[in-house]
Structure 1
Amino acid sequence: MNYILFDGPVRNALLPFTFTRPVADIRIGILTIREKWEKLLKTNTSVITQDYLADKFPLVSAGENILIDASYIPDPGLAEQVEQLKPGEAIYHEDNIIAFNSTEARADADLSTFRKKNISGEPFRVENTWDIFSKNKEALQSDFELLTKDRESMPIPDGVQVIAPENVFIEEGAELFFTTLNASNGPIYIGKNTLIMEGCHIRGGFALCEGSIVKMGAKIYGATTVGPYCKVGGEINNSVLFSYSNKGHEGFLGNAVLGEWCNIGADTNNSNMKNNYDEVRLWSYEEERFRKTGLQFCGLMMGDHSKCGINTMFNTGTVIGVNTNIYGSGLPRNFVPDFSWGGASGFTVYALPKAIESAKRASARRNVEFTDTDARILKHVFEATKKWRKG
């Protein structure tokens, strides 16, 4: 069977993260949504996404396709229902389409004649940017069970103090030195070829994905995910870093999401709660206004390739677009548009050629190729976000 994950109706609610990737490639828990589906379906998938992303994330179609709304996070039961779909059948939750079997590889296929199958219960879904951290505990537990079932962890090294070792899994090549792991409140997953330096204190749930580093003396609270090839330090609480992003120094990051290729300067802090304990509002690209989150704790949302200088301060509920560069004293406003350069005293436009050149240099440092396709994606985002920038 040919499986296709499509962006679905919540794509715009997940900006700025979906400016540079399909919904399927959002990381929550240990794996991306695409990786979860592929593990459970035991096959590769492709995506239907925005036209400007299609060169990097191509569609593979066949005579018979099962299309899945990528905002739905699978469990074994849902994956089995999807596998059993016959041609002309569709799975719904209430009025929302989850998956359907079609000869057309189109997310907007006419389903009026399809046989409707409803699922019971409330499906696990990512519908808002803040869901990525607020639902990370559940996703992390699910991924831990999926990845470690019927497998044996590498031994816990001497000098590492552990509470609830049955909830700790260490992959091959991981190094841990004189650290404490408390997995009594959630699992701790230590990925391949990772490094946890001396004196770190980590509480689950926690995932350190392949090739990532926790620097000396870090204090990490669950539920936190450090994606592949990231570096983290200081204090982190209930945050998700996608991949190739750094928060390597002292300072606090809490109830936050960082995309790819982000860098947080030394002694940077974000607030995650308002002084009056009020509900946090967050900028919505979709509605072009600040909207309620229903959360008392909500910190920083930072799009790909964005960076901040030392001692930067972010207010509660701050959204940073793609490819911004923030520095200086004071608190920047709660929404910094994509391709902005500056700080609390004001912003100018981060010129596209300079932004692309910086992205190339960052990629080269990690031996990752920054392609012409990547440049075209950034150019599209630059043009699409002009209305929110000055200049």
Structure 2
Amino acid sequence: MKNIILFDPVEARDRLLPLTLTRPVALIRHGITTISEKWQKAIPGAYSYSTQDYLSMKYPMVEATDGDNLFIAGNLHPDSKLVEAILALKIGEALTFNGETIARRGNGNPTSETEYDGTPFRLSNVWDIFMLNDEAIRRDFELLTAGRSSRLLSDSCRLIGDPSQLFIEEGATVECANINVSKGPVYIGRDAEVMEGACLRGPIAMCEHSVVNMGGKIYGATTLGPYCKVGGELNNVVMTGFSNKAHDGFLGNAVIGEWCNLGAGCTASNLKNTYAPVKLWSMAEGRFIKTDLQFCGLIMGDHSKAGINTMFNTATVIGVGVNFYGAGFPRTYLPSFTEGSPLGMKPVIMDRFFDTASRMMSRRHKELTPIDKEIYINIREQSAE
């Protein structure tokens, strides 16, 4: 069995903040599955992660006793060409792309390098998560449904397009919904639910136990991670898991972490009134950077919350553990572990944050562990520097 270590490329990790504050790069959900899950299907083996020191408490790196470790950049999607090139590596060899190491075999510095002659599909910026989600869903759909049969769609629903582009897992409930697969596939995961009056236009991925409430309007390319509940209007949104936007309001071209909640009527702009390209706050560089994007909505880290009727400006970045409420627009960057309104933000009281997180997680039978608390304390200390 191969021992595979998915490592965080430093530049990619920084440009994927705030998602990578709380997880290794390879645990970002993109398409239907996380990047790590994609690799586990592509190359069977024992997997671990090389990541930030404070995250290693939860995600330790496990090295093979004989030193034969296969290191792969955690922002890469596997494909047959890339997998073949990586498996061809010998101990001491590295695979590079544009001079950057994307895989290597063995411990220590490589003694030889081979430049990859393909074009890897990878995440280089946080906006790539939604910009490239269409392709990611299509790849995962083909991989996960090949040779399998979907559950039959209820007669109460209307399907537009090729039936082979709809896949419903066991335990899912879909009633009186309109589903359009003419522009891309729709995947409905195990025990997921699509309620009456919902409209889905692919490509869409609903992971296990995710829910679209009555009358929800979901456009591609959207991913609803495990146990996410949504309503209102979503367009090209990636929700990592265990997060809610259950009521009316608009969210587009957005990335939402785990354990987030957007209150009733919450709406986020994804287009400036001037139609100009947007700038986005870089948490790594501490400044706004050009994106060349015309559409960019909300980027929200884990365990952040927004009160009812919250309005977010185009290209707003919110860190981990933020609690925003009150009338008016917040700034387009809210640092981790702050709370308040447009009248002012203040530091979050950590004991109160832990209480809230524990209550929210217990509803999904998950536990906030002492290691989780230590990770959040580390993030809080980083954001205060």
What is the TM-score normalised by the length of structure 2? Answer: 0.97
Q: 2:122 aligns with which of 109, 114, 125?
A: 125
Structure 2 contact 92–109 (Cα < 8 Å) conserved:
no
Matched, 1:161 2:128: no
Kindly provide the amino acid, as one letter, of the partner of residue 349 in structure 2: A
SS in 1 for 2:82: helix
Cα deviation, 1:74-95, whole Å, max 9, x if unaligned, reads 1122122222222122111121
- CA–CA separation in structure 1 for the residues paired with 2:115 and 2:190: 39
- CA–CA separation in structure 1 for the residues paired with 2:151 and 2:47: 30
Q: CA deviation at 1:99?
A: 0.5
Matched, 1:73 2:77: yes
Cα deviation, 1:151-181, whole Å, max 9, x if unaligned, reads 1111112111112211111111111010011
Mapping 1:42-57, distance limit 5 Å: 42-57=44-59
Structure 1 contact 356–378 (Cα < 8 Å) conserved:
no
Matched, 1:139 2:136: yes
1:224 maps to: 222
- CA–CA separation in structure 1 for the residues paired with 2:79 and 2:244: 31
User: Quick check: which one's strand share is greater?
Assistant: 2
Matched, 1:95 2:95: no
Q: 2:344 aligns with which of 343, 346, 350?
A: 346
SS in 1 for 2:121: coil
Kindly provide the amino acid, as one letter, of the partner of residue 19 in structure 1: L
1:331 maps to: 329
- CA–CA separation in structure 1 for the residues paired with 2:233 and 2:98: 41
Q: 1:152 aligns with which of 149, 153, 157?
A: 149
Q: 1:314 aligns with which of 312, 315, 330?
A: 312
Kindly provide the amino acid, as one letter, of the partner of residue 74 in structure 2: A
Mapping 1:229-268, distance limit 5 Å: 229-268=227-266
Kindly provide the amino acid, as one letter, of the partner of residue 143 in structure 2: L
Q: 1:83 aligns with which of 75, 79, 87?
A: 87
SS in 1 for 2:303: coil
- CA–CA separation in structure 1 for the residues paired with 2:291 and 2:317: 13
Kindly provide the amino acid, as one letter, of the partner of residue 368 in structure 1: K
2:36 maps to: 34
Provide structure 2 residue ranges, at least 5 long, that are not aligned to the other structure: none
Cα deviation, 1:324-375, whole Å, max 9, x if unaligned, reads 0000111000001111111211111111111111111111111101100010
SS in 2 for 1:155: coil
Q: Alpha carbon RMSD of aligned pairs, Å?
A: 1.0
Structure 1 contact 24–34 (Cα < 8 Å) conserved:
yes
- CA–CA separation in structure 2 for the residues paired with 1:285 and 1:300: 14
SS in 2 for 1:342: strand
What is the TM-score normalised by the length of structure 1? Answer: 0.96
Structure 2 contact 270–297 (Cα < 8 Å) conserved:
yes
Q: CA deviation at 1:386?
A: 0.6
